[in-house]
Amino acid sequence: MNLLPKSHEEFSQAEYWNTFFKKRGKKAFEWYGEYPELCSYLFKYIKCKDDVLVVGCGNSTLSMDLYDAGYRNITNVDISEVVIRQMRESNKTKRPDLKYELMDVTQMTFPDEKFSVVLDKGTLDAIMPDTKEPTLVTVNKFFKEIQRVLRNGGRFICISLLQEHILKKLVADFPPAGFMFRVARCVEAEMKAREEEGCSVPVFIIIATKFSKLPQPVLEVALNGPPQRVESADEIVRAVTSAQESALICNTLYKGSVADVGEVSLDLYRAGEKTPRYTLHVVDQPRSKGCRTYAAFIVPQGRELDWLFSTKEGRQQLLKTTQRDRLAVVTLRRDHIFENLEAVKEEIGESISNLAPSGLSVAEIPFLSLGTDVGKRSICCEGTSEMSGAYVVEEIEDAGHIYRRLIFLNNQFTIQSEARLKLAKSRRGKMKKTIDPGFLACEHHIYMSVGVSSMTSTKKDGEVLVVGLGGGGLCTFLTHCFPKLKITAVEIDKEMLKIATEYFGLVQNENLKVEIADGIKFLEDSAEEKKKFDAILFDVDNKDVSLGMSCPPKQFVEDSILKMVAKCLSTDGLFILNLVIRNQALRQGVIDDLKKVFKFISTCSLQNDVNEIVVASMNSYGVKEWTGRIGKAGANLNDQANTQKLSSDDLINVSSLLEALKVET
């Protein structure tokens, strides 16, 4: 099966074509292909009995090869008197019926509807280098002449590199004039160029068929596999542009390394499908002598969200572990069925070989994976949140465990919530899946729980406010770990409460209440009512990541909100914030704003994640005093989890916790 690649990267079309034409120089025919590379397409669309007009023939051997293959009704025209004289002389004996005429393609003297085929190989590209007014005047005349001399049912066959302005001109002129319009790709011509020139660009063939009257426009794309009907000219332009961008990536990977840009990414589509079947990330070792070893790593279904596969840092680590110069990390996308690992290898084999460096044969590209199967993923439910868009709750198997996950489809490579399932007997003796309340999928939830544990050591029946429910995993764990703790969770998205209750085991009771409200508005009301909490936790993601802050939304750390938080804290209360900021200047700004309101700030960066837990208090603590308190809180958390039978192992390594702890001064 052929897969359609689509690049994730942004490429400048001007830069792309400038680079190409500098490389191309005068080697026009090598880039477009000759008869051996084009014959399969020409035989499909040109019959031996057709009257063929070759426009802008130059000194190409294409007409001669067609003549030798049995095509006898061929007329060639060119504006160069020298070329016409040369071609007549070289063919007069061996090919006496092959016609060559001196003629301007914008002012042809042939009668109307004389030809059944007009064939153009590179002429349109030559006469349309830009969209300036004189150029468009020439092209308009050329197109009108083609349409005039073609019979009804005749075909304009144009072999072109299809720069965007050329393709847009073609689709703007021919379909409205009653032509059925198809774009196909000449892969053999590209492969020859790669072999001979060291790189290639996509070569396309336009087939525009003339009809006296079409009930509606017929537009088709056949870039890989059979033709697919599309609704608009824009879809054709997008498909062609994507193929050109992907070819640029393949050329870059073929000729050298991408280590300087980190990685490149591609989606692979089945022809006619609108959702990608695979996503490929290609990473290179930073070596000066180029790539000598290359492999593909197939990520089983359900494991694509692991740090090792879902982040650039993780994929670089995987590259080092596999000890290859280049690695293509292959992710199997949801909403698709994969038969087995061998079927996946066969399906992506051609795409993987296209990303190989020069000098490597297909036989030298091994496929790696975590096991012998493609993994399993089953859908529990699908829905739409007014706040976050479409979502899916799915289950995957990993290392003997079953995990249930909430994924928002607009951010498919991030787990919104995750729970581990365990099997238990129902009252009727049947085995059923239940949520394991002792499992915390997010490492930052464990560190936030340490802050809560610090509070419970001084106040066993304290009250906690959690802003941001998610799947409810943190609230469920805290309820089971600290049975006397009273928790109020605030969630703005009512759909999240439904998901947490129906699929993630959240149970509201006298100690756990969920309020569907805006978190900031809830704080304002609580401050006005003089409500006090012993700990306030912010675990809210930011929908607008363009600001550089993933958690929380920027308005949650504005001065007025921080003052409300302080006002709602009890005497020894703690403000516990999950902070995710990659920009250090922005991060320091948040810390400085916290210092304006709170007397004490402590931070703890997670070792395997970008999260940072910030604990703030209106009381002052010495470093030794605070370190001792957090150390005891970590030990207390481990003891409580063991006592409540949530975990038989320590949830947190206290020594590592204290090493990561920092008091902001």
Exposure string of 488-513, with b = 16+ CB inside 10 Å and e = fewer, is: bbbbbbebbbebbeebbbbebeebbe
> What are the domain boundaries of the chain?
3-247, 256-369, 377-435, 443-664
CA nearest neighbour of 534 among 611, 451, 595, 644: 451
Q: Which residues contact 609 (CB under 8 A, 6 or more apart)?
A: 307, 443, 444
| Residues 632, 637: Cα–Cα separation, whole Å | 9
Indicate the pTM of the whole model.
Answer: 0.65
Tell me whether domains 3-247 and 443-664 share a fold: yes
The number of beta carbons lying within 10 Å of the beta carbon of residue 471 is: 27
H or E element: which one contains 233?
helix 233-255
CA nearest neighbour of 498 among 532, 529, 526, 469: 469
β-pair partners for 138: none
What is the pLDDT, as a whole number, of residue 21? 41
Return the CATH fold of 443-664.
Answer: Rossmann fold (3.40.50)
- Residue 37 has which token pair? 């590379």
Q: What DSSP assignment string belongs to 31-91? A: HH--HHHHHHHHHHH--TTS-EEEES-TT-SHHHHHHHTT---EEEEES-HHHHHHHHHHH
What is the pLDDT, as a whole number, of residue 131? 93
What is the pLDDT, as a whole number, of residue 559? 94
- Residue 19 has which token pair? 């680079």
φ/ψ of 108, rounded to 5, equals: -80, 150
What is the pLDDT, as a whole number, of residue 26? 41
H or E element: which one contains 325?
none
Architecture field, domain 3-247: 3-Layer(aba) Sandwich (3.40)
| Residues 54, 4: Cα–Cα separation, whole Å | 31
- Please tell me whether residue 420 adopts helix, strand or coil conformation: strand
Q: What is the 3-state secondary structure (H, E, C) of 466-533?
A: EECCCCCHHHHHHHHHCCCCEEEEEECCHHHHHHHHHHCCCCCECCEEEEECCHHHHHHHHHHCCCCE
| Residues 475, 469: Cα–Cα separation, whole Å | 8
In this structure, the strands spanning 150-160 and 115-121 are parallel
β-pair partners for 616: 575, 601
φ/ψ of 453, rounded to 5, equals: -60, -35
Exposure string of 516-548, with b = 16+ CB inside 10 Å and e = fewer, is: eeebbebbbebbeeeebbbbbbbbbbbeeeeee
Cα(first)–Cα(last) distance of the chain, in Å?
Answer: 61
Successive 10-residue mean pLDDT values, the chain, 665 residues: 47 43 43 80 93 92 93 94 92 94 95 97 90 94 97 95 93 95 87 67 92 89 85 89 81 78 83 82 77 88 86 90 92 89 91 84 84 83 90 85 88 84 78 90 92 78 92 95 95 94 95 95 94 95 73 92 95 94 88 95 83 94 94 94 91 92 90
